[in-house]
Chains A and B, each alone.
Chain A
Amino acid sequence: MHMPEPDADVIARRGEIIAALSRILPADNLIVDESELRAYDCDGITAYRQLPLIVALPETVDQVAAILRYCGEAGVKVVPRGAGTSLSGGALPLADGITLAMGKFNRILEIDFDNRCVVAQPGVTNLGITQAVQERGFYYAPDPSSQIACSIGGNVAENAGGVHCLKYGLTTNNILGVEMVLMDGEVIRLGGKHLDPGGYDLMGVVTGSEGLLGVITEITVRILRSPETARALLIGFASAEAAGDCVAAVIAAGIIPAGMEMMDKPAVAAAEAFVHAGYPLDVEALLLVELDGPEVEVEDLIGRVRAIAEGTGAVSVRVSADEAERQSFWAGRKAAFPAVGRLSPDYYCMDGTIPRRQLPTVLNRMRDMSEKYGLRLANVFHAGDGNLHPLILYDANAPGELERTEEFGADILRLCVEVGGVLTGEHGVGVEKRDLMPEMFGDEDIKQQQRLKCAFDPAQLLNPGKVYPTLHRCAELGRMHVHQGQVRFPDLPRF
């Protein structure tokens, strides 16, 4: 993984840039000492590290606008950062860029139960929103596993998911409005408290744009009433194929569970050893299905899912009898990553999505790859929506093992694309999957996305080196239309 060559001229102007930022921000809001910059040298992917040129911690929208305007004029790159929990290197700093850390934007601005929404600053944690409304029985639905730490601004930038997005959608389906600052310092508002933004749906493309289009300064999210009841089934299978069949049959029966998670044998073993959730250790695949709604509905669906599971060869079925047991079913799943982490000095978490019915095929082929690369693999999936999280176990101190792990991971993602899926379901492209983009997209597909980038940030100063393997200059992208003399008069019916 190579980042674009830092601009030596910008690095040489560091003192001048610090002086300019000091005129915008109080001294306490500017980090320039190497020892303090160290805290910002990576995000959730610790394998990639880089000291930022400077870290700026604005507190007001005016400050963000002034910083971006200055950087735009001075040609200085900017990396926006939320809580720094990205699993794709989206907030990886640049040696010649300012990291714009939004942690001080940490207030909830308005709770509007009447219109069922919350207006929050981007640094508020995902869980913080739910905590602010739960006493009235409401919650914010997307629940990435980092929800205690990750920020809502980062969630919007990455279009974060979670275990419940099968039924309740991703971030993009749960936000109503965004205020953001463009690289030229202009402040724009997209959407609001109403259900559809007018004009082009720019909020839709800003969501999941990984900090390449603007800096988000305010978000309006939809909140939902918490379901009356939630219960879970823990279903064991003798083969991944049978578990895959069960997942497909549940969906085919018209049931959309609140969550439908799968773990393979190594992941089950690791989780059980770690949290003693009572998982069966003799199964090849374990399915965790959660149903929520009114008691009478949950009761009904539990019965249907149980019947489907038994019909597709389940070897064990347990239904949570009470809330404590439901929590214990989830405890293993939620601890799966750290549990697997105990098996090995390091692990690498992948994030492809595939059509559900390809689960058995993909599992088998990953097993072959695991042998080929000589690296162990544990699998945790959001099975309901086909989102895989294979965990590759490796030792970063063993020479060559990180490289082999990355190759293995890339092969898994190529496989996802090959069977009709995509490179990333919820973690983002960032720097991690950047060079794999051509596996899924052709040159024209990527250029079209970069043209959109040019409308927001023509000088390409926002988070460069992320998402797209090649930076095309906007002027070059604009030259696509010189077709005169090459296009023959179209021979069209009824022309």
Chain B
Amino acid sequence: MDGTTLRPGDEAQLAEAVAWAAAEGKTLDVAGQGSKAGLGRPVAADFRLETTGIAGVVLYEPEELVLTARAGTPQAEVEALLAQRRQRLAFEPADLGPLWGGPAGRGTLGGTFAAALSGPARLRNGAARDHLLGFRAVGGGGQVFKSGGRVVKNVTGFDLSKLMAGSMGTLGVLTELSVKVLPVPEKTRTVLVLGAEDDAAARAMALATGSAHDVVAAAHLPADVAAASAVDLVSGTGKSVTALRLEGPAASVEFRCRALRELLADVGRGEELHSRNSEILWREVRDVSYFAGAECAVGDGQVWRLSVAPLEGPRAAAAIRAELGGHLFYDWAGGQVWLCLDPRADAGHQVVRRAVAGAGGHATLVRADAAVRAAVPVFQPQAAPLAALARRVKDQLDPAGILSPGRMGGGG
């Protein structure tokens, strides 16, 4: 990339830029503010194409639970607007800026959905893809198109929103998004269980999420990671901490807190976090703060994200740790494992991939130097027929191969 940035001021200009690039065979590194540039295989493109010039909230109807905004709208602006009406994006998009060594609070709405990094509440509330109701975008040929709508119940035509969420700009450039928003719950509390080993914690989380107590989020921090929390009740115990979040009307939350503590009484000593501490803890888990910056002993390591069946989490993690060491914690009731390893030229990818393959899931190399990410597959390599299909999808939607080529790996 020669550093030249295209920053169209509206959708028509953006379409013109993409059409021109397709015709000339110029490649584009598609970005919002570039806050997630550390994710994916590094893109060597002729130009950087930024959506930040296409910004602004188009429509916000709190009573309809929908917001429509242009792709370049700052994520922080969207969140502040929603907060004024006590609403939010219920999948809790992660802010991994500090994990990649940048500032917190950056990024665009388009980038949030293009990267689709869902937070702890994904367990109950669904992922980014479940909250994208419709969009406008520019396809690989420079054509403007739209899909979906701004109502939740919609089965009109293929659900391209799902495909665009998480495709990191490789299948089209989002220009406008309609997203589902939900009320902020009246009350939040977190039940803590102290001292459980990983396996026991996973079983406790399965028991809790399989109960009628409507657990929103479930994470387990082994003692070394818990020690890095800014919440005293978490860091001060010297033990591992299993955290279970409850939300809803006050009376209901209090009732379920008691019920959950009873249910888990045999697992370990219980504690409770109220609003403020609960918020801090879940923000740390969401943003993988334990592996970011100087606060964490393992701040310089390579960071992997594993996605496996919840009870497979500890097994996959143990297999990796036996060979590579490192630090880790669990989110999504054990189904999402964040792993921090000492830096290696190959990021230990064969060991990691073997462990998740055995568990039927996948692994993403979320943080590593660009040279490592260029040499090691960032996303899980897929079985041949699926990889071929993903390739055909990319070729159909971006025939000239100009949209962030290679960022998703083999498929796109």
- A residues sitting closer than 8 Å to B (CB atoms) are 112-117, 137-138, 158-159, 161, 165, 169-170, 172-173, 182, 186-190, 192-196, 198-205, 207-209, 212, 225-228, 248, 251-252, 254-256, 293-294, 296-297, 300-301, 353-357, 382, 385-387, 420-429, 433, 437, 440-442, 444-449, 451-456, 467, 477-478, 480-481, 483-484, 487-495
B212 touches A452 (CB 8 A): no
Closest to A494 in B: B7
B335 touches A194 (CB 8 A): yes
A449 touches B153 (CB 8 A): no
A49 to chain B, nearest CB (A): 23
A172 touches B162 (CB 8 A): yes
A492 touches B17 (CB 8 A): yes
Chain A residues lying within 8 Å of B211, measured Cβ to Cβ, are: 225
Please, how many angstroms separate the alpha-carbon atoms of A372 and B94 in the complex?
A: 53
A256 touches B380 (CB 8 A): no
A223 to chain B, nearest CB (A): 9
Please, how many angstroms separate the alpha-carbon atoms of A171 and B206 in the complex?
A: 23
Select A422's contact among B156, B163, B308, beta carbons within 8 Å.
Answer: B156
A483 touches B141 (CB 8 A): yes
B408 touches A195 (CB 8 A): no
Select B382's contact among A137, A199, A357, A422, beta carbons within 8 Å.
Answer: A199
A173 touches B155 (CB 8 A): no
Chain A residues lying within 8 Å of B185, measured Cβ to Cβ, are: 254
Whether B62 is near chain A, meaning CB under 8 Å from some CB there, is yes
Using known A-B contacts A225-B210, A386-B151, determine if residue A294 contacts B255 with beta carbons closer than 8 Å.
yes
A182 touches B385 (CB 8 A): yes
Please, how many angstroms separate the alpha-carbon atoms of A82 and B179 in the complex?
A: 32
A-B contact pairs, 15 of them (CB 8 A): A115-B206, A117-B309, A159-B159, A169-B130, A173-B130, A190-B386, A255-B183, A421-B149, A448-B143, A449-B147, A455-B396, A478-B396, A480-B139, A487-B23, A492-B7
Please, how many angstroms separate the alpha-carbon atoms of A129 and B390 in the complex?
A: 31
Using known A-B contacts A115-B311, A454-B396, determine if residue A252 contacts B63 with beta carbons closer than 8 Å.
yes
Chain A residues lying within 8 Å of B171, measured Cβ to Cβ, are: 200
A194 touches B361 (CB 8 A): yes
B362 touches A198 (CB 8 A): yes
Please, how many angstroms separate the alpha-carbon atoms of A453 and B393 in the complex?
A: 9
A441 touches B157 (CB 8 A): yes
B159 touches A356 (CB 8 A): no
A480 touches B64 (CB 8 A): no
Please, how many angstroms separate the alpha-carbon atoms of A483 and B129 in the complex?
A: 33
Closest to B142 in A: A483
Chain A residues lying within 8 Å of B399, measured Cβ to Cβ, are: 478, 480-481
Whether B107 is near chain A, meaning CB under 8 Å from some CB there, is no
Closest to A468 in B: B157
A489 touches B20 (CB 8 A): yes
Closest to B152 in A: A385
Whether B389 is near chain A, meaning CB under 8 Å from some CB there, is yes
Select A202's contact among B123, B163, B212, beta carbons within 8 Å.
Answer: B163
B17 touches A424 (CB 8 A): no
A444 touches B118 (CB 8 A): no
Please, how many angstroms separate the alpha-carbon atoms of A340 and B156 in the complex?
A: 26
Chain B residues 124-174 with CB under 8 Å of chain A are 126-127, 129-130, 139-147, 149-163, 165-167, 171
B163 touches A385 (CB 8 A): no
B155 touches A455 (CB 8 A): no
Using known A-B contacts A194-B309, A195-B307, A254-B183, determine if residue A301 contacts B249 with beta carbons closer than 8 Å.
yes
Select B386's contact among A188, A193, A437, A452, beta carbons within 8 Å.
Answer: A188
Please, how many angstroms separate the alpha-carbon atoms of A279 and B226 in the complex?
A: 56
Chain A residues lying within 8 Å of B53, measured Cβ to Cβ, are: 493
B245 to chain A, nearest CB (A): 16
Tell me which of B183, B361, B389 has the highest count of chain A C-beta atoms within 10 A of its own C-beta.
B389
Whether B270 is near chain A, meaning CB under 8 Å from some CB there, is no
B119 to chain A, nearest CB (A): 12
A91 to chain B, nearest CB (A): 15
B5 touches A494 (CB 8 A): yes
Using known A-B contacts A116-B209, A199-B390, A201-B163, determine if residue A481 contacts B155 with beta carbons closer than 8 Å.
no
Whether B96 is near chain A, meaning CB under 8 Å from some CB there, is no
Report B227-263 CB contacts with A as 1/0, cut-off 8 Å.
0000000000000000000001101100110010000
B63 touches A490 (CB 8 A): no
Using known A-B contacts A200-B412, A445-B146, A455-B395, determine if residue A356 contacts B129 with beta carbons closer than 8 Å.
no
A192 touches B64 (CB 8 A): no
Whether B196 is near chain A, meaning CB under 8 Å from some CB there, is no
Using known A-B contacts A201-B129, A297-B252, A356-B63, determine if residue A449 contacts B160 with beta carbons closer than 8 Å.
yes
B377 to chain A, nearest CB (A): 11
Chain B residues lying within 8 Å of A172, measured Cβ to Cβ, are: 130, 159, 162
Using known A-B contacts A187-B385, A492-B6, determine if residue A429 contacts B156 with beta carbons closer than 8 Å.
yes
B393 touches A452 (CB 8 A): yes
Select A195's contact among B16, B145, B146, B332, beta carbons within 8 Å.
Answer: B332
Whether B325 is near chain A, meaning CB under 8 Å from some CB there, is no
B309 touches A193 (CB 8 A): yes
Please, how many angstroms separate the alpha-carbon atoms of A422 and B211 in the complex?
A: 37
Please, how many angstroms separate the alpha-carbon atoms of A422 and B161 in the complex?
A: 15
Please, how many angstroms separate the alpha-carbon atoms of A38 and B123 in the complex?
A: 46
Chain B residues 354-412 with CB under 8 Å of chain A are 360-362, 364, 379-380, 382-383, 385-386, 388-390, 392-393, 395-397, 399-400, 408-409, 411-412
Please, how many angstroms separate the alpha-carbon atoms of A204 and B159 in the complex?
A: 7
A188 touches B210 (CB 8 A): no
Select A493's contact among B7, B156, B256, beta carbons within 8 Å.
Answer: B7
Chain B residues lying within 8 Å of A433, measured Cβ to Cβ, are: 156
Please, how many angstroms separate the alpha-carbon atoms of A182 and B409 in the complex?
A: 23
Chain A residues lying within 8 Å of B380, measured Cβ to Cβ, are: 198-199
14 other contacts beyond A186-B388, A490-B13, with CB at 8 A cut-off? A186-B385, A192-B360, A194-B362, A196-B118, A198-B379, A200-B167, A254-B183, A255-B183, A300-B252, A301-B249, A452-B158, A453-B158, A454-B396, A455-B389
B393 to chain A, nearest CB (A): 4
Using known A-B contacts A201-B129, A297-B251, determine if residue A386 contacts B5 with beta carbons closer than 8 Å.
no
B149 touches A192 (CB 8 A): no
Whether B310 is near chain A, meaning CB under 8 Å from some CB there, is yes
Chain A residues lying within 8 Å of B409, measured Cβ to Cβ, are: 199
Please, how many angstroms separate the alpha-carbon atoms of A495 and B309 in the complex?
A: 47
Chain B residues lying within 8 Å of A428, measured Cβ to Cβ, are: 155
B68 to chain A, nearest CB (A): 10
Select B9's contact among A159, A442, A447, A493, beta carbons within 8 Å.
Answer: A493
B157 touches A449 (CB 8 A): yes
Chain B residues lying within 8 Å of A467, measured Cβ to Cβ, are: 157
B151 touches A300 (CB 8 A): no
Report B1-38 CB contacts with A as 1/0, cut-off 8 Å.
00011111100010011011011000000000000000
B62 touches A353 (CB 8 A): no
Chain B residues lying within 8 Å of A161, measured Cβ to Cβ, are: 153, 155
A170 touches B153 (CB 8 A): yes
B150 touches A420 (CB 8 A): yes
Q: Which 3 A-B pairs have the closest CB atoms?
A: A204-B162, A297-B252, A254-B183
Chain B residues lying within 8 Å of A426, measured Cβ to Cβ, are: 153, 155
A386 touches B153 (CB 8 A): yes
Chain A residues lying within 8 Å of B335, measured Cβ to Cβ, are: 194-195
Select B153's contact among A116, A138, A252, A425, beta carbons within 8 Å.
Answer: A425
B35 to chain A, nearest CB (A): 19
A355 touches B150 (CB 8 A): yes
Chain B residues lying within 8 Å of A204, measured Cβ to Cβ, are: 129, 159, 161-163, 165
Closest to A441 in B: B157
Please, how many angstroms separate the alpha-carbon atoms of A186 and B391 in the complex?
A: 15
